[in-house]
């Protein structure tokens, strides 16, 4: 009996220890090997994202061919995606089976989640600085950029906590594509930088219809003056411009505040009048813009080839296209003197593997993606901007920019103006804090707008009850309450600041151990007393 009790007590002591070991491994990072073995075959898997654009696919293929020529023992197998969300989900699925790709196009938000598994993603700091295989290193077989030749703002975006976990690959921002003819027809002149007040005023003015329901400005029965593609970005940008809370760096959720409420009330009024809509509710802004059914379309600069009546990419029938002059502008601002716009676009990370030669080959391939040829090749497929100053300042790229408008394909004016927009405003771009759950928070930000506009269209009343319900539903849908809590307890895993509170297992252990000793003591006393009685 005594032995049995001792065993139970021992088990009570050990179990929490075992539990606390489960699911968390100590990070060992990645040690750069002392040489690159160019004899042993190495196969690396590259998950890439393209914008359903065969020119981009061609650039990836060119990159692979070029790299394999320089490193004949390395084979790069590409898997193409057209959706970041699918890549993210597939990576998450494959982390558990240790079958992640070697190299992956991704967003830092996603990497923060990948990092919940120890050593899943290789930190690149040592690789970048290595004199032989680092950026522009002595044993790199091509003209790679040096660290200082990468746009500092873009490189900084790839830092999570104390480490760099990705390289920027392409960068874009959002642009406001305007049917300038309609703005003038409504009696307005475009300012250099548009304000939110201006865009709302003109949008409402454009809603005037004749007795037959035909919109006066375009003579059609369809007109949505203002369509925003990414409502996630819309809410994030508006809050940033207003210097309003969104989240802390370590993941505390602050989005449900009075400024958000005011922003939503404004959006509601224009959703109700139908002067404003979203991609989620109506469709691609570019389709309406090109059909003369929209005046202000906000979409990525990486979607510039779809914008404008001369756009090389077209998603509507040619006979539906209405000719107009397209003006490319920064997104609307609350303070035009201090514009703020989001920085977005793909980055590329390297997954950690047991075979360090695989990781090294992957890193070299990532560097190859940063060479001028690949950077310019990919950037010119859309309104992207190369992420290296080396490429941006090259004579070839400058020549490309100078030929703006020469044709409506390679030198399509709207596309090049979109790239120039980001180049001009790089210092005014921002990114949101990255933590485990930041991707969900982004989605929630957009959902607030989507639900508000839907509510307005469905004649729901805007009042405190509407807002309270909306905040509650969105918070629940994206589990933001749990993210907020997790942020306080899992900062280390997320690669962010250390946790301020002890993990649950540790707390349990601290409670159980003294209890066990008390039980042992009590048992001893009871036993002694029992022995005395017997004696």
315 lines the binding site for other proteins (CB under 8 A): yes
Cβ-contact 532, 25 below 8 angstroms: no
Q: Which DSSP symbol is given to 223?
A: -
**Shorter beta-carbon distance to other proteins: residue 277 or 375:** 277
List phi, psi (to 5°) of 473.
-65, -45
Using the Cα atoms of residue 272, residue 275, residue 276 and residue 282 in order, give the sign of their dihedral: positive
Q: Which of these ranges, 31-39, 184-192, 227-235, 450-458, lies near other proteins under the rule CB under 8 A?
A: 450-458
**Shorter beta-carbon distance to other proteins: residue 237 or 305:** 305
Minimum CB–partner distance for residue 80 and other proteins (Å): 5
Count the residues of the shown chain that bind other proteins, applying the rule CB under 8 A. 23
Among residues 20, 27, 33, 53, which is the contact residue for other proteins, using CB under 8 A?
A: 53
- Give, as ranges, the residues between 136 and 195 that touch other proteins (CB under 8 A): none
List beta partners, residue 333. 195
Minimum CB–partner distance for residue 7 and other proteins (Å): 41
Among residues 6, 77, 82, 355, which is the contact residue for other proteins, using CB under 8 A?
A: 82
- Give, as ranges, the residues between 271 and 300 that touch other proteins (CB under 8 A): 281-284, 287
Minimum CB–partner distance for residue 461 and other proteins (Å): 8
Among residues 22, 459, 534, 535, which is the contact residue for other proteins, using CB under 8 A?
A: 459
479 lines the binding site for other proteins (CB under 8 A): no
454 lines the binding site for other proteins (CB under 8 A): yes
Q: What is the DSSP string of 454-502?
A: HHHHTT---SHHHHHHHHHHHHHHTTHHHHHHHHHH-TTTTTSSPPSS-
Q: Which of these ranges, 75-83, 246-254, 258-266, 297-305, lies near other proteins under the rule CB under 8 A?
A: 75-83
List beta partners, residue 43. 75
Among residues 7, 11, 19, 52, which is the contact residue for other proteins, using CB under 8 A?
A: 52
170: closest CA among 60, 86, 306, 79? 60
80 lines the binding site for other proteins (CB under 8 A): yes
The beta strand positions in 400-453, using DSSP E, are 429-430
Minimum CB–partner distance for residue 97 and other proteins (Å): 19
50 lines the binding site for other proteins (CB under 8 A): yes
343: closest CA among 327, 328, 330, 334? 330
Q: Which residue has the tokens 């771009």?
A: 429
| CA 154 – CA 387 distance, rounded (Å) | 7
Strand 159-160 with 163-164, pairing:
antiparallel
61 lines the binding site for other proteins (CB under 8 A): no
57 lines the binding site for other proteins (CB under 8 A): yes
What angle, rounded to 10 degrees, do the helices at 356-368 and 54-70 form? 120
231 lines the binding site for other proteins (CB under 8 A): no
| CA 431 – CA 448 distance, rounded (Å) | 19
Minimum CB–partner distance for residue 55 and other proteins (Å): 8
Q: Which of these ranges, 35-43, 51-59, 346-354, 418-426, lies near other proteins under the rule CB under 8 A?
A: 51-59
| CA 390 – CA 402 distance, rounded (Å) | 17
Any residues with CB less than 8 A from the CB of 459 and at least 6 apart, and which? none
Among residues 316, 389, 423, 509, which is the contact residue for other proteins, using CB under 8 A?
A: 316
**Shorter beta-carbon distance to other proteins: residue 82 or 99:** 82
Minimum CB–partner distance for residue 54 and other proteins (Å): 4
77: closest CA among 44, 52, 36? 44
56 lines the binding site for other proteins (CB under 8 A): yes
317 lines the binding site for other proteins (CB under 8 A): yes
123: closest CA among 32, 239, 209? 32
330: closest CA among 319, 346, 341? 341
- Positions touching other proteins (CB under 8 A) are 50, 52-54, 56-57, 79-80, 82, 85, 89, 281-284, 287, 315-317, 454, 457-459
């Amino acid at each position: 009996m005594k032995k049995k009790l001792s065993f139970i007590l021992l088990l009570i002591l050990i179990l929490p220890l075992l539990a606390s070991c489960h699911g968390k491994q100590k990070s060992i990072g990645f040690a750069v090997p002392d040489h690159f073995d160019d004899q042993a075959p190495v196969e690396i898997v590259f998950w890439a994202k393209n914008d359903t654009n065969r020119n981009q696919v061609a650039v990836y293929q060119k990159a692979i061919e070029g790299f394999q020529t320089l490193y004949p023992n390395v084979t790069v197998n590409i898997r193409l995606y057209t959706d970041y969300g699918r890549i993210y989900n597939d990576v998450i699925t494959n982390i558990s089976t240790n079958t992640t790709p070697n190299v992956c196009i991704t967003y830092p938000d996603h990497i923060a989640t990948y990092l919940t598994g120890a050593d899943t993603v290789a930190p690149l700091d040592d690789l970048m600085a290595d004199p032989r295989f680092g950026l522009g290193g002595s044993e790199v077989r091509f003209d790679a950029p040096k660290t200082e030749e990468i746009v500092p703002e873009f490189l900084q975006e790839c830092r999570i906590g104390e480490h760099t976990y990705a390289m920027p690959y392409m960068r874009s921002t959002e642009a406001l594509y305007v049917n300038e003819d309609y703005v003038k027809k409504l009696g307005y002149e475009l300012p250099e930088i548009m304000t939110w007040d201006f865009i709302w005023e003109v949008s409402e003015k454009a809603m005037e219809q004749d007795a037959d329901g035909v919109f006066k400005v375009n003579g059609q029965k369809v007109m949505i003056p203002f369509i925003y593609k990414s409502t996630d970005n819309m809410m994030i940008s508006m809050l940033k411009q207003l210097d309003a809370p969104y989240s802390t760096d370590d993941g505390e959720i602050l989005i449900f505040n009075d400024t958000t409420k005011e922003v939503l009330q404004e959006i509601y009024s224009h959703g109700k009048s139908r002067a404003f809509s979203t991609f989620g509710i109506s469709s691609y802004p570019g389709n309406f813009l090109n059909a003369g059914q929209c005046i202000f379309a906000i979409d990525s600069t990486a979607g510039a080839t779809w914008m404008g009546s001369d756009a090389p990419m077209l998603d509507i029938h040619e006979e539906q296209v209405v000719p107009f002059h397209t003006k490319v502008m920064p997104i609307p601002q609350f303070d035009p003197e201090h514009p703020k716009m989001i920085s977005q676009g793909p980055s590329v990370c390297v997954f950690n593997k047991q075979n360090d030669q695989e990781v090294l080959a992957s890193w070299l391939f990532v560097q190859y993606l940063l060479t001028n040829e690949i950077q310019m090749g990919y950037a010119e497929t859309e309104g992207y901007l190369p992420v290296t100053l080396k490429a941006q300042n090259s004579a070839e790229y400058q020549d490309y920019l100078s030929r703006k408008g020469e044709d409506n394909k390679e030198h399509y004016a709207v596309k090049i103006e979109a790239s120039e927009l980001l180049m001009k405003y790089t210092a005014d771009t921002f990114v949101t804090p990255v933590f485990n759950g930041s991707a969900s928070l982004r989605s929630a930000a957009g959902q607030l707008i989507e639900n508000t506009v839907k509510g307005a269209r469905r004649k729901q009343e805007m009042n405190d009850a509407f807002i309270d319900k909306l905040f509650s539903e969105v918070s629940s849908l994206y589990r933001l309450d749990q993210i907020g809590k997790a942020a306080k307890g899992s900062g280390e895993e997320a690669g962010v600041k250390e946790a301020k509170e002890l993990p649950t297992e540790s707390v349990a252990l601290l409670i159980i151990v003294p209890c066990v000793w008390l039980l042992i003591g009590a048992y001893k006393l009871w036993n002694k007393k029992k022995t005395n009685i017997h004696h």
